[in-house]
A and B are shown apart, each in its own frame.
Chain A
Amino acid sequence: MRNEVRFSGFGGQGIILSAVIVGRAAVIYDNKYAVQTQVYGPEARGGASMSQVIIDDDPILYPKVATPDIYLIMSQEGFEKYGAVAEDPSVMLIDSTLVHSRPKCRCIEIPATREAKLTLKKDIVANIVMLGALVAATHVVSEESLRKAILDSVPKGTEDLNLKAMQLGLQLGKQP
């Protein structure tokens, strides 16, 4: 079983961290293999940031993502630059608060930024809401592994907030 996940959004949303958390969950807690890569450079700061994770039951040879089967898109510019190419049978989770375009592939709309703001009073954890939704919708890593990897990665004192964000995302991402 192999999944290739592409994350994109704008600088400051925690796009890279989200990808690292998923990779960490897969490697450390699901005992799988993962490779995380990202786009570097000045254009990745102000504009659209992008990171990709491959998750595999077997060792990963070629480390670059060719065609992602899962997209997690959190900004309009990120969609245009890194998401618009998506086609079936890929699936895309979008932060519907910030992205107004829709892809040609199956799309799961998650109002992550709005819900983070309204429910948790902190839109900074919108990326963690998206991670919860990602796991609920795709099971790329287990819920428990995601929880542990989030706790490993977030600043001290913000653990409860981030776990609440993850729970919120798990609810929002549940598929019928």
Chain B
Amino acid sequence: MSYEDWYRQDRLPHIFCAGCGNGTIINCTLAAIEQMDWKKEDTVFVSGIGCSSRAPGYILTDSLHTTHGRAIAFATGVKMANPDLHVVVFTGDGDMAAIGGNHFIHACRRNIDLTVICMNNQIYGMTGGQGSPTTPKGCLSSTTPFGCAETPFDLCELATAAGANYVSRWTSYHVKELEKAVKVGLETPGFSFIEALVQCPTAFGRRNKFRQVADHVEYLRSHSLLKAKRDRMLENGEHIPEDMYIVGEITRRKRPAMGVKP
């Protein structure tokens, strides 16, 4: 069996744009699940609203495509009511960090046994490119036409501070690392958070000098800084450029968790 067996063939073609990074993240997730040997009937995908949240609709399991920002709250109900189910949440930066920010930090605090995968394209893609809480300073969007003036969230630091057991960040360039990170997330009891930076040629790239998909993926690669390397640089008193994304395993710990299968 291959992870492709997890797709709903009767739902194709999908709605993602040519060059979208979301498919990469879904593939990595399903490949990790395949390695876990989970059964389809024991696995539930939950999502909110946005491009990322369409993912569960393409996967052949029970799935709950909910309201904007609330996926984690719905998933909490599914998991607490039936801890035997494996519950995975697909979300995005707008869905999870803006309208759903409160549910996110409280799920981290409860350390509930969910795996949350955030496809962070740094913009509202589905609705045509409005600024999100992770839009980098200076970047253009339809609601930041003079450049984003606000400081973006560091979602991984947020998850760590709020209490998640496992936190990692990769990009759509790092497919092998991402697949491994998702697998560790699936294995870890408690709240696992994996942030995947993804290119969005249609809504983000077009406005921010990444018209070519490859250019954006290359940017993500070249602006990724391994956490271990960052830590060494800090030890040596070296300057960390502000536009770097810290990638790798950010947090791994064994705090008491809720909703873990008995």
Check A-B contact in the complex, CB < 8 A. Answer: no
Where the two chains meet, the residues of A that have a C-beta atom closer than 8 Å to any C-beta of B are: none
